[in-house]
Structure 1
Amino acid sequence: MILLNPVVLSVLTLTILCLCRIHVIFALLLAAIVGGLTANLSLSETITTLIGGMGGQAETALSYILLGFFAAMIAQSGITEILVQYLLRVMKEKKFLLIFLIAFLTCFSGTLIPVHIAFIPILIPPLLILFNHLKIDRRGIASALTFGLKTPYMVIPIGYGLIFHGIIAKEMESNGMPIAMSDIPLAMSIPAIGMIVGLLIAVLFTYKKPREYKDIDLSKTSSLPEEETAAGLEKQKTPRTTFEKRNHFFTIIAIVVAFVLQLTFESMVIGAIGGITVMFVTRVIFLESGEKVVQEGMVMMGVIAFIMLIASGYASVLKETGAVENFVNNATSWFGDSSQLVSAFVLLLVGLFITMGIGTSFGTIPIIAAVFVPLCATLGFSPLATCALIGTAGALGDAGSPASDSTLGPTAGLSVDGQHNHIWDTVVPTFIHYNIPLLIFGTLAAVIL
């Protein structure tokens, strides 16, 4: 019975625990144990597999931690205050314009400036006071951020999108259905329209009502006191404006260096190290304050990094047991003589369950393609339709999983003052407003193409 499949039981456990406000770390651990035990692994074998699989996201976790340190330094430089003051003057009561601007700018984080979620802890916390002033429901902001993190890689073959499309093309070809890279944007354009519809509904309808938040001074909770930063120490020696200009100049240089190194070496770790080095060498942050910067950075990104490690181990438990393949094979028995419309919808539901558990669209594609390609060929789907199904199924989990960086990133920026819940204010809203449209538009794409 498919409902007793380890993947189903494990994902349901993860979902229920998260909805009950159990922290995602504990929820992932317990869900992994449920998945392992129901797949006839012993408890020790499950934990061993979990720990062994954590290395799959080691580089990502390290890059997030280092970018957290870098973000803490940038925040301490005061450069974000300039942006906040500018937005306060320009936006005033234009809250919808501000939300759509955030969604638009976020689109660049995975394409032209591939920093992914690292920009969020830098940009969003200083804007919380502005959001409060405009009485913006932060669930709308979370929806805008997740939109910008997901939609570009689905349809634009630049940055992370180039990687995503490359994985789809490679896996489809290896399973007997080659497709040109240039055709993938066309296949994914209809699901991307679903993302746009979801964003418009979230911002203009669901979360348009004013929501009250308390103004909390984040500097009082900072682990890096102002007097221990270069700016704070220098105030005693030089005029404030002179040092601030110097401070901001070298901060911009550090950001450019980080960006160039990341593109040159294709490594966020190297980019972050370069930016941190510039901040220390130019004395924007003193070396003596290094310990405080580390504390600040760990608060920003450390939890996300650790969740990504556990999520990688959790995915290993599901994959190593063979439960994913069994789940997909059992699900295909539902088709029978069903129409392409019904078959496409069921395939996407299967993909949703898989990616909800694994939490990464990129890592799920090889698993999905191995089963979807031959099945779609049997059901008469064209290569474009098959591509749309595979790409949409992979993207579904990014907004639906509590362990996805597309949901963890927005929470990292919006929850710094303790007034934004990861599950109920980020995961549930983005699941509703993006996964439902993706299921609908992904199904339509499979039938039309």
Structure 2
Amino acid sequence: MITVISSVLVMIILSLLRVNVVLAVLAAGITAGLISGLGWQEGLDLLISGMGGQAETALSYILLGVFAVMIGKSGITGVLVSFLLRVIQGRRGLLIMIIAAVASLSQNVVPVHIAFIPILIPPLLKLFNELKIDRRAVASALTFGLKAPYVTLPVGFGFIYHNTIASEMTASGLDISVNEIWKAMVLPGAGMVVGLFIAVFITYRKPREYASIGEEQEDVLIDKKSESLSVSHIFTIIAIIAALVTQIVMDSLIFGALAGIVLMFLFKVIPFKTGDETVNEGVRLMGMIAFVMLIASGFATVLQETGAVDDMVEKAVEVSGSANLWTAAVILLSGLVVTLGIGTSFGTVPILAALFVPFCMSVGFSPLATVALIGTAGAMGDAGSPASDSTLGPTAGLKVDGKHHHIWDTCVPTFLHYNIPLFLFGLLAAMVL
């Protein structure tokens, strides 16, 4: 227990002190190894060996960054901004809720996860500045859309999450159908809706001034080509659709992004001679998020291979007594700590289910209450974790002009507005189901 809590605290404290998140997660991984009894070199070797677990994801994000830059250079984003200016007419809240809706669709109807963020958000930064939108509200909306649908709905990524819960609970001795999971997760999902409305219409409602974007940055963020559709715009739309179809058919973000990139060159939307420059800009856009995912995978490997996570969950079981509010709180907080460290809800559920499912059955929690506890415990921490793509994705889009901080403008707001409601509504679900 000490290993997990101490290493996660190291990561959180360093991140809050504005230490680069890569260094913060690296320090947390080394700390976990040392506390577990590994030497400096042995702990570092284990961390490095685990980085390969997210290599495919990291490459996907790099290629998506390149594709996003190509789309920006095509001029089609200028058409989008022009349309939004006419529709929104100064209504900040409406724009933010539209972004939350688009993000939600990225989890089920068009399952691209964070791939849309570097394409959609950077061109809108100038519009955000003109409307004096607090970007913390936008980060909250994006994280809501990336997280709430899979927590609540058994569709797209939500089906994968609900199926993970069902299969892991069945393997741990509680036979339950994937079609039953949503019934237990409706209340926690409703808590996230409450958190979204509080963030957008109360906490970050007031106008916030940002320094004006320089001409050089504006050339990158807002193209100055025609605001009406042109042939190059049509070719860009074809490339986007092709990338989406390829991703779905081949179940690979890498092949999807590559399809889009190749078509942008073949259609001559992007001149081949500018390829080096475009790729470099794409790496700058998404390189940090890719490398953080690699380091986070290494940190997760250290925690799991040393047995630190299993030890913490076992200790949590020991301090719990019966099916009461205290026991439910311990289970949820255990999930929060684990997910904050490893940055993935999907990877947390198998860890928690193995020990908490038999325990919940033994103390008298109903099957649906157990689902609510395991599902919510797995989801807690994904919002707010410095190493989660639910926070790294929004930051990648909002920080392009250097006026958005990953920890203080994305992680802290999303932690407060989603983990607290998830905790409270998760407790409620455990008590009433």
TM value normalised by structure 1: 0.93
Residues 72 and 220 in structure 2, CA contact (< 8 A), matched pair in contact too: no
- Is the CA contact (8 Å cut-off) linking 1:224 and 1:292 kept in structure 2? no
1:31 corresponds to which of 15, 28, 34: 28
Alignment correspondent of 1:103: 100
1:332 is matched with: 317
Output the CA distance in 2 between the equivalents of 1:91 and 1:346.
Answer: 44
Q: How much is the aligned-residue C-alpha RMSD, in angstroms?
A: 1.8
- Name the counterpart of 2:349: 365
Counterpart pick for 2:125 among 114, 128, 132 = 128
1:115 aligned to 2:112?
Answer: yes
Q: Match for 2:235 among 245, 250, 264? A: 250
Distance 1:78 1:276 in 2: 16
Matched, 1:164 2:149: no
- Which letter does structure 2 place at the counterpart of 1:166? N
Q: Which region of structure 1 is more displaced relative to structure 2, 127-136 or 191-200?
A: 127-136
Whole-angstrom distance in 1 between the partners of 2:69 and 2:266: 16
Partner of 1:201: 198
Match of 1:8 in 2: 5
| Equivalent pair of 1:120/1:409 in contact (CA under 8 Å) | yes
Q: Does 1:146 align with 2:146?
A: no
Q: Deviations over 1:286-343 (max 9, x none)?
A: 1111111111111111110110011000000000000111111112222135x52111
Q: Structure 1 residue 177: deviation in Å?
A: 0.5
Alignment of 1:296-445 (within 5 A): 296-337=281-322, 339-445=323-429
CA change 1:223–1:48 in 2 (3 A) is: farther
Tell me, in whole angstroms, the C-alpha distance in 2 between the residues paired with 1:7 and 1:329: 12
Q: How far did residue 215 of structure 1 move?
A: 2.1
Contact 1:399 1:431 in 2 (8 A): yes
1:218 & 1:98 partners in 2: Cα distance? 25
CA distance in 2, matches of 1:218, 1:187: 51
Of residues 428-437 and 118-127 in structure 1, the stretch that sits farther from structure 2 once superposed is 118-127
What 5-or-longer segments of structure 2 have no aligned partner?
none
Matches of 1:49 and 1:336, distance apart in 2: 36
Letter in 2 for 1:138: R
Report if aligned partners of 1:61, 1:306 keep a CA contact under 8 Å in 2: yes
On the 8 A contact 1:224/1:293 being kept in 2, the answer is no
Identity of aligned residues (%): 58
Distance across 1 between alignment mates of 2:266 and 2:158: 35
Equivalent pair of 1:202/1:433 in contact (CA under 8 Å): yes
- Give secondary structure in 1 for the equivalent of 2:212: coil
Per the TM alignment, residue 220 of structure 1 is displaced from its structure 2 partner at its CA by: 3.9
Residue 335 to residue 268, structure 1, CA distance change in 2 (3 Å): same
Tell which deviates more after alignment, 207-216 or 10-19: 207-216
Amino acid at match of 2:172: N
Judged with a 3 Å threshold, the aligned counterparts in structure 2 of structure 1 residues 219 and 258 are, in CA distance, closer, same or farther, namely farther
Partner secondary structure for residue 36 of structure 1? helix
> Distance in 2 between the 1:416 and 1:46 partners?
34
Q: Give yes or no for contact 1:105–1:148 (8 Å, CA) kept in 2.
A: yes
* Match of residue 237 from structure 1: none
CA contact (8 A) 2:22 2:295 kept: yes
Once residues 280 and 215 of structure 2 are traced to their aligned partners in structure 1, the CA distance between those partners, rounded to angstroms, is 15
| 1:235 aligned residue | none
Kept in 2, the 8 Å contact 1:71–1:297? The answer is yes
Change (3 A) 1:40 1:94: same
Taking structure 1 as reference, are residues 221 and 51 closer, same or farther at Cα in structure 2, changes over 3 Å only? farther
For 2:201 and 2:209, the matched residues in 1 are separated by 18
TM superposition shift of 1:71? 0.5
Q: CA 1:225 to 1:194, structure 2 compared with 1: closer, same or farther past 3 Å?
A: closer
Q: For this pair of structures, how many residues does the alignment match?
A: 433
Displacement of 1:140 in angstroms is 0.6
Identify the match of residue 266 of structure 1 among 223, 227, 251: 251
1:67 counterpart (64, 68, 81): 64
Aligned to 1:184: 181
Give the conservation status (yes or no) of the 8 Å contact 1:223–1:295.
no
Report the Cα offset of residue 219 of structure 1.
4.2
In 1: Cα distance, 2:218 partner to 2:89 partner: 27
Letter in 2 for 1:13: V
The question of 1:292 aligning with 2:277 is answered yes
Return closer, same or farther for 1:78/1:33 CA change in 2, 3 Å cut-off: same
**Helix, strand or coil at the partner of 1:333:** helix
Q: Secondary structure at the match of 1:400?
A: coil
**Could you tell me which amino acid in structure 1 is paired with residue 316 of structure 2?**
A
Unaligned runs of 5+ in 1: 233-239
Q: C-alpha distance in 1, partners of 2:238/2:214?
A: 28
Superposed CA deviations along residues 45-94 of structure 1, whole A, max 9, x for unmatched, are 11111111111111111111111111110011010111101111221221
Structure 1: which 4+ aligned runs deviate by more than 6 Å? 221-226
Greater shift in the superposed pair: 129-138 or 317-326: 129-138
Name the CA distance, whole Å, in 1 between partners of 2:314 and 2:420: 24
Q: Which one-letter code corresponds to 2:75 in the other structure? A: G
SS at match of 2:319: coil
In 1, distance between residues paired with 2:412 and 2:162?
Answer: 27
* Cα separation, 1, equivalents of 2:344 and 2:318: 26
Q: Residues 223 and 140 of structure 1: is their aligned pair in 2 closer, same or farther, counting only changes over 3 Å?
A: closer
Supply the AA of the counterpart residue of 2:86.
R
TM-score where L is the length of structure 2:
0.97
On the 8 A contact 2:77/2:222 being kept in 1, the answer is no
Structure 1 222/300 Cα, relative in aligned 2: closer, same or farther at 3 Å? farther
Which residue pairs with 2:89 in the alignment? 92
Deviation (angstroms), 1:222: 6.7
Structure 1 residue identity aligned to 2:272: L
Q: Which residue of 2 aligns with 1:173?
A: 170
1:127-160: per-residue Cα shift (whole Å, max 9, x none)? 1111111111111111000000000111122211
Q: Which moved more, 1:324-333 or 1:278-287?
A: 324-333
